[in-house]
DNA sequence: GTTAGCATGTAAGGAGTTACATGATTTT
DNA sequence: AAAATCATGTAACTCCTTACATGCTAAC
């Protein structure tokens, strides 16, 4: 089966494109802005990902005619119908010549994004996955947010237990550097647990009125509408 | 060009085997004890790694009290030893055929380990690499330790700069969750920088007498000697 | 007498990474 | 006109993960 891209990148790309259509280069900058401290992607990761999302029909190339502006989508160029098919023979048979390729979410892509955002399992608790999911909490249902935060906390607490067990079991064998590493690691994890506790508390507080379990699901306009402001 | 294993695992395995010969199963437990909070490996990673280290001649199967036959004594059954003291001791089978394959470092392996420990470049600054290198600081030369700590600190400070730049550049575009993610990430990194500062200070203090640049290199007992029972 | 834990592996593949290659546009 | 930066891509590779397959042995 072809690469079932289910990693961090897919969610990040779909999430960003849900906000506004973008071309690859700009997308990468926003990506690294969004993920900031904890993850960075290069073009060598991004473009193959876009290629495959395109192949799966989750995103589409935006033809110059239909997006008026959408931020940096200025294809002022139109520049000389130069050679677009150099070495690899495959000419890009799209209509207007443009130097940028602007991608937008398709209806399928929006659906897929919703699925990913509704995912509250392991993929959303692990280090990387959690970061991206958290970054898109603004688009995530309140009950899912809570489940993810709690799942993450549980995950970290298991990790704490494991480390503490090791530390007491093998106390005398560890040299001082290893010990210091564990001490610091433990402290970091404990700190993140406290952070999660605060977030959970504030989620519970602000979401006290909203019903968690109801099958609320109301956003899929299949129509193209990338609203042109 | 077989897989030039240059990742976290190689160093961790060589480092652990330098302390004492071990078989795979036990090795993995120590591995996950050593790396504790920040990394975990399964057998599916460990055994292929051992296989390749063996092929490269960096480790060797230990034939304890070889009872004559067996050539390549791969798990020839009927190990009749009494239970060894579980997890704490390395009192292992002192007689008969083993069902375990005990690995030890070869001379080449020791050399390779020294090379890896002397590495103070990017591989030793990145998240994973740093953790392992730090875990073996006890076997690392003092000047290398310092270089690694400083390199790591520089790396983190660059990251801080990057995130801060993004945060001020795109201030109004970030929703509150993304902002909170960045805030927390920033704080975590700042905390690690402070930790590094303390470590660096204490390294400088305690190592003030030792000469940093001298090519001191002094440990190779090629003699084996495991099975202390 | 069957689970639970010890012990060793392999095949397939996932999720990117690195290094490279090329051109267009803007700035100096 | 040169340099910087914008912009898009590919091939090969790395390093590990998942799922599977197998058998021994100790304990309940």
Q: How far is A191 from chain B (nearest CA, A)?
A: 9
Averaged pLDDT for residues A199-219:
69
End-to-end CA distance of chain B: 41
Averaged pLDDT for residues B105-128:
95
- CA–CA dist A44, A194 (Å, integer): 37
Cα-Cα-Cα-Cα dihedral sign, residues A46, A47, A48, A49? positive
Name every chain B residue with its beta carbon within 8 A of the beta carbon of A163: 36-37
CA of A144 to C1' of D15 (A): 33
CB contact under 8 A, A178 and B37: no
Name every chain A residue with its beta carbon within 8 A of the beta carbon of B38: 185
- CA–CA dist B135, A172 (Å, integer): 15
β partners of residue A61? A103
Pick among B11, B33, B158 to test the A interface (most A CBs inside 10 A): B33
Most confidently modeled range among A115-129, A165-179, B209-223: A115-129
Span B148-184, pLDDT tens digits: 999 999 999 999 998 998 888 877 778 899 999 999 9
3-state percent breakdown (helix, strand, coil) of chain A, nearest 5: 55, 5, 40
- CA–CA dist B56, B52 (Å, integer): 6
Span A101-151, pLDDT tens digits: 999 999 999 999 999 999 999 999 999 999 999 999 999 999 999 999 999
- CA–CA dist A40, A37 (Å, integer): 8
Identify whether the C-beta of residue A135 lies closer than 8 Å to the C-beta of residue A129: no
- CA–CA dist B131, A14 (Å, integer): 33
Residue A209's pLDDT band (boundaries 50, 70, 90)? low
A138 in reach of chain B (CB within 8 A)? yes
**Mean of the per-residue pLDDT values of chain B:** 80
**Full-model pTM:** 0.81
CB contact under 8 A, A191 and B195: no
Q: Report CA-CA distances (Å) from B101 to B14, B48, B77.
A: 16, 14, 12
For A227, phi then psi, to 5°, come to: -65, 130
Name every chain A residue with its beta carbon within 8 A of the beta carbon of B135: 177-178, 181
Span B80-98, pLDDT tens digits: 333 333 333 333 343 444 5
Span A10-47, pLDDT tens digits: 999 999 999 999 999 999 999 999 998 889 999 999 99
**Residues of chain B with pLDDT > 70: what percent?**
73
């Amino acid at each position: 089966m072809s690469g079932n891209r289910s990693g961090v990148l897919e969610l990040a790309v779909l999430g960003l494109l849900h906000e506004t259509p973008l071309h690859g280069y700009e997308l990468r900058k926003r990506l690294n802005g969004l993920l900031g401290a904890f993850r960075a992607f290069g073009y060598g990761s991004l473009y193959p990902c876009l290629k495959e999302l395109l192949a799966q029909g989750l995103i589409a190339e935006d033809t110059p005619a239909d997006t008026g502006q959408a931020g940096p989508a200025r294809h002022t160029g139109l520049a000389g119908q130069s050679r677009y098919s150099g070495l690899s023979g495959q000419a890009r048979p799209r209509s207007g010549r443009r130097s940028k390729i602007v991608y937008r979410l398709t209806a399928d892509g929006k659906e897929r994004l919703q699925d990913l955002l509704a995912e509250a399992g392991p993929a959303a608790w692990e280090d990387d996955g959690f970061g991206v999911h958290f970054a898109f909490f603004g688009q995530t249902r309140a009950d899912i947010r809570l489940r993810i935060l709690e799942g993450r906390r549980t995950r970290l607490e298991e990790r704490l237990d494991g480390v503490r067990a090791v530390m007491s079991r093998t106390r005398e064998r560890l040299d001082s550097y290893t010990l210091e590493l564990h001490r610091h690691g433990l402290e970091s994890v404990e700190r993140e647990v406290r952070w999660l506790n605060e977030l959970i508390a504030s989620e519970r507080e602000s979401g006290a009125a909203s019903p968690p379990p109801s099958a609320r699901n109301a956003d899929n306009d299949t129509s193209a509408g990338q609203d042109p402001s």
